[in-house]
Amino acid sequence: MKNIKFLTLLCIALLGFNSCETEDDVVFIANNSELSFSNSFQAEYILNQATAGNLAERFTWNSVDTGVPTNLTYELQKSILGDFTDAEPVGSTTANEIAVTVGDMLGYANEAGLDNDPTTDAPNTGNVSFRLKSVIGDNGEPVFSSAQALTLVLPEDTGMETEAICEVETLYAVGAGLPTAGWDWATPVAFECTGDGIWSGNVELTSDGDANFRFFTEATNWDSGRNYPFYADAGYTIDSNFENAGDGDSNFKFVGTSGVYFLTMDTNEKTITLGSAQGADTCEVEILYGVGAGLPTAGWDWATPVELLCTGDGVWSGNVQFQSTADNNNFRFFTEATNWDSGRNYPFYADDGYTIDANLVNAGDGDSNFAFVGTDGTYLLTIDSVNKTITLE
């Protein structure tokens, strides 16, 4: 009897051992059909070096369901040949997305032998294929998604400059947080389209008072405004120097240190960022001021001067309202606010060889100020100390 009991226990132990050994060797295999891209692809991807830092494509996919809790690693692979005999990893993650920039795509285009030179035999259009590889746990068999071929296009260089493409050419801003503008459409801050889907420019910001402002897609059209929630709800990462003003219009509020910054609105990366003013260290002074009767938003009053920001190498510019009323159309530039001795009148520039816009003449008054003789309105005023020009647009 004892022998029978012993043999029974031995069999149970052996069965348990084999059972455990089998569990250790389990290999989880997911169905390939479960792994697929979930993003929508473009018909073609037009690539240029000017937008190399922009997002080209964000690859996203569904999570593979193994039926049991386990670690999943996804790898995005590319193939120049298309059959993945030359497969190379683009990136790997345990999440469900990998972003690829225009710069990355340009590299793949180069590997594919594409170029934008119309004088060579190399094509400027070609395909690069992508697929997903998933590995389940530490010892799972890899599975792959179906391949997706993307068409890459390098616009041929014809020697002509191409304009960047944005929803609107200029994005405007007005508000108390923008001292050169205020809540006045006479002198809005203008951010020009400087890249595909990107507006940028130097801007003076103040945290004094309400410090609020709003962006607009159309000048003078209040209904085209875009406030803080407009961007926050769209998933934008907004610079920490800005917050929701919490006023009736949920405007932006500037809470940083007052000064001049370079603002970039990037609709590709969905970011609004502030950086150091660009070109500010290549101008004689960071801000050139204007006061006078010909500048109705300023007058001869240092409380509200027109401010032209340094926007490039030796270049100051800004939107300025002018009036041509007789005897009330004169004004002067200054390198220092409140310092009348820092003034620069019409002869200062004319004698230095500047070409001055025909709408601006010598006022012929006691200080030989400028006088505006054009049609009343708001103009983009640019003073270029390199090319020695003063222009109105």
| Residue 279 pLDDT | 58
Q: Which residue has the tokens 């469900």?
A: 96
Q: Which amino acid is at 56?
A: A
Question: In this predicted structure, what is the pLDDT of residue 50?
Answer: 61
Structure tokens at 21: 């050994």
**Nearest to residue 148, comparing CAs of 134, 132, 133, 131?**
131
- Enter the tokens of residue 228: 């803080």
- Count CB atoms within 10 A of the CB of residue 328: 14
DSSP state of 5: H
Rounded to 5 degrees, what angle do the CA atoms 235, 236, 242 make?
Answer: 130
Long-range contacts of 20-28 (CB under 8 A, 24+ apart): 27/139, 27/140, 27/141, 28/66, 28/67, 28/68, 28/70, 28/136, 28/137, 28/140
290: tokens are 């204007």
User: CA-CA distance, 124 to 122, in Å (whole number)?
Assistant: 7
| CA 216 – CA 171 distance, rounded (Å) | 6
How many CB atoms are located within 10 Å of the residue 17 CB? Answer: 10
Q: How far apart are CA 82 and CA 109, in angstroms?
A: 13
pLDDT at 69: 60
pLDDT for 289 equals 93
In the chain, which residues have pLDDT < 50? 1-33, 160-161, 280
pLDDT at residue 68 in the model: 60
The helix (H) or strand (E) run that includes residue 186 is none
Q: Which amino acid is at 262?
A: F
Question: 357 near 390, Cβ under 8 Å?
Answer: yes
Q: What is the pLDDT of residue 287?
A: 87
